[in-house]
Amino acid sequence: MSPYTVLWLQSAGCGGCTMSLLCAESPGLFDSLEDFGIKLLWHPSLSLETGAEARAILEDIIAGRVRLDCLCVEGAIARGPRGTGHFHILGGTNRSMLSWAREIAPLAGDVVAIGSCAAYGGVTAAGPNPTDAVGLTYDGAREGGALGADFRSRSGRPVINVSGCPPHPNWVTETLMLLSLGLLGESDLDPLKRPRFLADHLVHHGCPRNEYYEFKASAGHLSEQGCMMEHLGCVGTQAHGDCNIRPWNGEGSCTRGGYPCINCTAPEFEEPGHGFSETPKIAGVPVGLPTDMPKAWFIALASLSKAATPQRLRDNAVADHIVTPPAVRSTKRS
């Protein structure tokens, strides 16, 4: 059986997606690739080939001498200046990454944007964006990007956006595994072209602060244990991702680490219009309400929840450790 071939290009970004990928475990990255017959043709940070050897791999793909099943792109594509892409030249080739991406992407069976920069522009495109950085088929929340809104890979599928800043390592390996088995189609992507196995969940699902959320027992400072939605900018009730269902290395997530979810799997998360740890409000009500929650219901339920908050949660929400433990009571019903 022929291996499933993958080419990985790193464009304008920090390299954090690769760093996250190396943290894959149970199984690890290289075990996952081997077990599913995935052959990494070239990765600029992980492969031995450099210089002329690396260029030869790209040229063999373009000439059709090597079949490319999947092109993975990490980092945004810099289109500047004036659409030339010359702000980012692929070392030793005298060609822009924009040019390479546009030539190789149509030859790939599938194209996967690794991380929010490659998907939507991400942090690389923040602020005045002097390099005109964009995602592969999105410019922020607008379709278009470096390859154009109508781009389709050789399989007929759009670019698959494994977004996140960085994405969970298993989001990447699971996507590659499913593609190698022919089990990830366009119907398995959400409206922003993210795999539904991650995007059909909210970061809120599995959050260890959910009891505080239920009673609207809120933290006022980042070091405290309460829910961070009301005062500290957490948008985990709106953000798509299974971060708290399968935490990093079995332990970590933003909210587990004491920081609010900033919705890093979404377009334009990098510029929310306010501080990441601030909750914008109108008349004391958070502007961003939980997904699918009507405002009137939220206000009513929040009022009832606050009135019913156990003293234990009131105490612990504004402390950096458990101050009042749960009461010890028998659950036996005679």
Based on the domain organization, do 53 and 158 belong to the same domain?
yes
The answer to whether residue 160 is domain-embedded is yes
Looking at the structure, tell me whether residues 195 and 252 fall in a common domain: no
Does residue 327 sit within a domain?
no
CATH number at residue 42: 3.40.50.700
**Claim to verify: residue 232 and residue 95 sit in the same structural domain:** no
Q: Could you give the residue ranges of the DSSP H alpha helices within the chain?
A: 16-21, 29-35, 51-63, 97-104, 116-120, 169-180, 196-199, 210-214, 229-232, 295-307, 311-317
pLDDT higher than 90, residue 292: no
pLDDT digits (tens, 9 = 90+) for 204-260: 999 999 999 999 999 999 999 999 999 999 999 999 999 999 998 888 999 999 999
Closest by CA to 61, choosing from 18, 104, 93, is: 104
- Record the pTM: 0.94
Domain membership flag for residue 95: yes
Give the chain's largest Cα–Cα span: 80
Instruction: Report the percent of the chain where pLDDT is more than 70.
Output: 100
| CATH value at residue 244 | 4.10.480
Report the domain count for the chain: 2
**Judgement on whether residues 220 and 192 belong to the same structural domain of the protein:** no
Phi, psi of 119 (to 5 degrees): -75, -50
Could you report the per-residue pLDDT of 12-44, keeping only the tens digit for each? 999 999 999 999 988 899 999 999 999 999 999
pLDDT band at 102 (very low <50, low <70, confident <90, very high): very high
Q: Are 131 and 222 in the same domain? A: no
Question: Domain for residue 184, yes or no?
Answer: yes
Residues 195 and 238 in one domain: no
* Residue 119 CA: distances (Å) to CA of 44, 103, 143, 164, 304: 19, 18, 10, 9, 41
Cβ atoms 165, 276 nearer than 8 A: no
Alpha carbon distances (Å) from 239 to 201, 262, 289 = 8, 8, 11
Q: Are residues 146 and 234 in the same domain?
A: no
The torsion angles phi and psi of 12, rounded to 5 degrees, stand at -75, 110
pLDDT at 302: 85
User: What residues make up the domain containing 277?
Assistant: 215-322
